[in-house]
Copies of this chain bind each other. A is one copy, B any other.
Amino acid sequence: MVMADGRPAPQQDAVSFDLNAYLKERKQLVEAALDCALPVSEPLTIYESMRYSLLAGGKRLRPILCLATCELLGGTSELAMPTACGLEMVHTMSLIHDDLPSMDNDDYRRGKLTNHKIYGDDIAILAGDGLLAYAFEHIVEETRGVPPERILRVIARLGRAASAAGLVGGQVVDLACEGDPNVTVETLNFIHTHKTGALLESSVTCGATLAGASEADLACLTRYAQRVGLAFQIVDDILDITSTREELGKTAGKDLRADKATYPSLWGLEASRERARDLSEAAIEDLAAFGERALPLQGIARAIVTRRN
């Protein structure tokens, strides 16, 4: 089997760690927690709409990064779970809003019709708003056994990642650059460090904060998260070109049709693959000092460049 990075499927890690089993188990844990976090209530339409997108599957990468980082530093997955769910709520909000006709106008997401195609634009906007606001309430109400100062740091990090200094700012520049043939790699980096990078980074740093990370640990984990975030986006761009809609679960070939600047359009496919691999390897190196406890995060850095959707 050939993966997105053009290499054969990876070998099992030297140390016995089954990443696929780990990711599968974590995904199930996260999805059960998300289901409990947002029970149906009145008015039904809005809760159904929020749940439709929140429980539509996906890799659950952000919550898993949060849990794994908290555990790496000696915390438990229980104390990080409300924050992990909050991160996924914010991510889901951004997907619902980005898919709207006045934004990227997408009909499919995770293999299903997008939220506004089912519920209409008005409810889709409100579902996003509701998920964003609820993420903060949920984290505060459900986090147990963590000093309040740390929870406040998590709130500030998540708020910043979701704001104009984070994913909103990235989406604005992304929209402004559509059809512009002169987008530079600096602008593309700005878009992705904000649109995807900020929330991925805060997934790691929030997990670290909950566990009481030292400044040194935080700096090292931040570097890891930034490299993983950029690698993730480069691979996203590659997959948009090389995959079908069935494989992606969302519209494929969209960047090319929209005449959108991407890493492959600036660097070519092969150089993009190489850059993603380099970033992944550097991210794995960032965590060398943590020893075997870093295997999940290192495995994720590896899996991000070998993923097929």
Query: CB of A148 within 8 A of chain B?
Result: yes
Query: CB of A136 within 8 A of chain B?
Result: yes
Please give, as numbers and ranges, the residues of chain B lying within 8 Å of A29 by CB-CB distance.
Answer: none
Please give, as numbers and ranges, the residues of chain B lying within 8 Å of A162 by CB-CB distance.
Answer: 129, 133
What distance in Å separates the Cβ of A99 from its nearest Cβ neighbour in chain B? Answer: 11
- Pairwise interchain contact B152-A136, C-beta atoms closer than 8 A: no
Chain A positions 86-112 with a Cβ under 8 Å from a chain B Cβ: 90, 93-94, 97, 100, 102-103
Query: CB of A169 within 8 A of chain B?
Result: yes
Query: CB of A225 within 8 A of chain B?
Result: no
- Pairwise interchain contact B129-A102, C-beta atoms closer than 8 A: no
Query: CB of A303 within 8 A of chain B?
Result: no
The one of B41, B156, B165, B168 in contact with A129, judged by C-beta atoms closer than 8 angstroms, is B168
Please give, as numbers and ranges, the residues of chain B lying within 8 Å of A230 by CB-CB distance.
Answer: none
Stretch touching chain B among A14-22, A45-53, A216-224, A239-247: A45-53
Stretch touching chain B among A118-126, A267-275, A277-285: A118-126
A123 nearest in chain B by CB position: B172
Chain A positions 13-65 with a Cβ under 8 Å from a chain B Cβ: 41-43, 45-47, 50
Please give, as numbers and ranges, the residues of chain B lying within 8 Å of A163 by CB-CB distance.
Answer: 130, 133-134, 137
Please give, as numbers and ranges, the residues of chain B lying within 8 Å of A137 by CB-CB distance.
Answer: 155-156, 159-160, 163
Complex Cα distance, B143 from A159, in Å, reads: 15
Complex Cα distance, B151 from A135, in Å, reads: 16
A128 nearest in chain B by CB position: B129
Residues 153-182 of A, flagged 1 when their CB comes within 8 A of B and 0 if not, give 101101111111110110111011000000
Please give, as numbers and ranges, the residues of chain B lying within 8 Å of A125 by CB-CB distance.
Answer: 97, 100, 102-103, 125
Complex Cα distance, B100 from A125, in Å, reads: 10
A165 nearest in chain B by CB position: B41
A50 nearest in chain B by CB position: B164
- Pairwise interchain contact A155-B136, C-beta atoms closer than 8 A: yes
Q: Can you name 11 A-B pairs with beta carbons within 8 Å?
A: A45-B172, A46-B172, A103-B122, A129-B132, A132-B133, A134-B163, A136-B159, A137-B155, A137-B163, A148-B149, A152-B152
List the 3 closest A-B pairs by CB distance, nearest first: A137-B159, A133-B162, A102-B121
Q: A residues near B, CB below 8 A?
A: 41-43, 45-47, 50, 90, 93-94, 97, 100, 102-103, 120-123, 125-126, 128-130, 132-138, 140-141, 148-149, 151-153, 155-156, 158-166, 168-169, 171-173, 175-176
Additional A-B contact list (6), CB under 8 Å, known A133-B160, A134-B164: A41-B165, A43-B164, A133-B158, A134-B159, A136-B156, A136-B159
